[in-house]
């Protein structure tokens, strides 16, 4: 699938003479991406769902006012086949970051996750195919397009995930977010392989943490850290491990992928693996005992029989609790040049931001 040979590209094509588009530009990670692009002098276009809701992107307007670059805002709905035509016309790089992210309280996985992820990718790439100026698409996928359960590593070389693997355990009814990420990324590669004008780079970040540029962000990362601090897990947490990375590293990786004319394929953007309890200990050591941080593990046997009350199915418990998790980020470091910041700093900075902006409740 990734056999396309790099074609000759005019260096100016990936320069600052052309606009670049960031779909979902007001999001948690995308805001950092837009910030770095503006400070680097790019003409940045972003899409938002509701252009009249200026509060959702005014932080980017303020950044643009004091940056070398410029900012244009467009309204676009992922489900509208024509929504991206105007904003992509004339661009040479498209960063497609817009995608729903829901883990809990999902009533209709098809409508809430699959349709906007899959159709949104199709609609963006359809507009790319119409805009002959576009030379590269950088798609934000997720680590969940590489694996669904920790036990997916069984049979994998050294039981370590790399970019060569795809999520085969998620489906519409089990971990539908991972399923949505997988089908959307596969569709992007299919559409890429049907043409030979533009190149595709896909980034597969793990859970990204760190400070935000806007308290309007609805990223699931905030819920993850908030629940560790607000007493939700005061009685304990499952022994589950997660891949972590600083949100600013993810944003920078997007720029590296765009600026390197030879970059192509998938890149896992993940730094460290920690258990939920280890994350809680990092916060506990910094913020002290005034918070109800979890300080013990829940019994796996108890989770197997009663975990559904906390949203953990028996299948999830069997395939993820007490299981190891390993990633090889060599490709992102060596080929993209990503230099990873310490994850502990991102964990602490995220809770600091939540507290400073009264977001704990």
Question: Which pLDDT band holds residue 273 (cuts at 50, 70, 90)?
Answer: very high
How far from each other are the two terminal CA atoms of the chain, in whole angstroms?
A: 46
> Which of 1-10, 40-49, 249-258, 325-334 bottoms out in mean pLDDT, i.e. has the lowest?
1-10
pLDDT, position 14: 54
pLDDT, position 12: 40
The residue that leads in pLDDT, 297 or 288, is 297
Tell me the C-alpha distance between 326 and 64, whole Å: 39
Residues 6+ apart with CB under 8 A from 137: 93, 94, 96, 124, 125, 128, 188, 192, 198, 199, 200, 201
Residues 234-247 have pLDDT tens digits of 999 999 999 999 99
Tell me the C-alpha distance between 96 and 123, whole Å: 11
Would the pLDDT of 3 be above 80? no
Structure tokens at 328: 């090889």
pLDDT, position 39: 96
Would the pLDDT of 220 be above 90? no
pLDDT, position 354: 93
15-216+242-272+327-341 CATH: 3.40.50.720
Percentage of the chain lying above the pLDDT 90 cut: 83
CA 287 to chain CA mean position, Å? 27
Mean pLDDT of all residues belonging to the chain:
92
Percentage of the chain lying above the pLDDT 70 cut: 96
Respond yes or no: is residue 181 known to be catalytic.
yes
| CB-CB contact of 268 with 337 (8 Å) | no
pLDDT, position 15: 60
Going through the chain in order, the beta strands assigned E by DSSP cover 19-23, 43-48, 70-75, 93-96, 136-140, 199-205, 207-209, 241-246, 265-269, 272-275
pLDDT, position 104: 75
Per the residue annotation, which of 35, 181, 241, 274 is the catalytic one? 181
pLDDT, position 13: 44
Cα-based distances in Å from 60 to 48, 66, 72, 209, 212: 12, 10, 10, 20, 12
Residues 329-359 have pLDDT tens digits of 999 999 999 999 999 999 999 999 999 988 8
Q: Which letter does DSSP use for residue 204 in this model?
A: E
Residues 55-71 have pLDDT tens digits of 999 999 999 999 999 99
Helix-strand-coil split of the chain, %, nearest 5: 45, 15, 40
pLDDT, position 307: 78
What is this structure's pTM?
A: 0.93
Give residue limits of the domains in the chain: 15-216+242-272+327-341
């Amino acid at each position: 699938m990734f056999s396309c040979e790099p074609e000759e590209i005019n260096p100016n094509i990936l320069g600052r003479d052309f606009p670049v588009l960031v779909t979902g530009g007001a999001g948690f990670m995308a805001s950092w991406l837009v910030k770095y692009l503006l400070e680097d002098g790019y003409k940045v276009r972003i899409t938002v769902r509701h252009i009249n809701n200026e509060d959702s992107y005014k932080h980017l307007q303020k950044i643009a006012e004091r940056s070398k670059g410029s900012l244009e805002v467009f309204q676009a709905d992922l489900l509208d086949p024509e929504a991206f035509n105007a904003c992509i016309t004339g661009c040479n790089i498209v960063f497609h970051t817009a995608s729903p992210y829901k883990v809990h309280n999902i009533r209709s996985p098809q409508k809430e996750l699959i349709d906007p992820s899959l159709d949104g990718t199709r609609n963006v790439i359809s507009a790319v195919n119409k805009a002959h100026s576009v030379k590269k698409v950088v798609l934000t996928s997720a680590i969940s397009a590489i694996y669904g359960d920790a036990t997916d590593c069984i049979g994998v070389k050294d039981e370590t995930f790399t970019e060569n693997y795809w999520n085969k355990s998620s489906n519409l009814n089990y971990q539908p977010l991972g399923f949505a990420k997988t089908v959307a990324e596969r569709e992007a590669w299919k559409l890429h392989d049907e043409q030979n004008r533009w190149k595709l780079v896909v980034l597969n970040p793990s859970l990204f943490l760190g400070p935000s540029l806007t308290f309007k962000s609805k990223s699931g990362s905030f819920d993850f850290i908030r629940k560790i601090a607000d007493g939700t897990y005061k009685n304990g947490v499952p022994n589950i491990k997660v891949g972590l990375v600083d949100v600013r590293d993810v944003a920078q990786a997007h720029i590296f992928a765009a600026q390197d004319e030879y970059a192509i394929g998938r890149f896992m953007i993940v730094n460290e693996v920690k258990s939920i309890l280890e994350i809680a200990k990092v916060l506990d050591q910094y913020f002290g005992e005034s918070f109800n941080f979890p300080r013990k593990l829940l019994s796996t046997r108890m989770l197997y029989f009663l975990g559904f009350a906390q949203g953990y199915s028996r299948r999830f418990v069997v395939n993820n609790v007490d299981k190891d998790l390993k990633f090889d980020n060599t490709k992102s470091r060596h080929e993209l040049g990503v230099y990873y910041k310490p994850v502990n700093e991102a964990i602490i900075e995220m809770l600091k931001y939540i507290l400073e902006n009264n977001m704990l409740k």
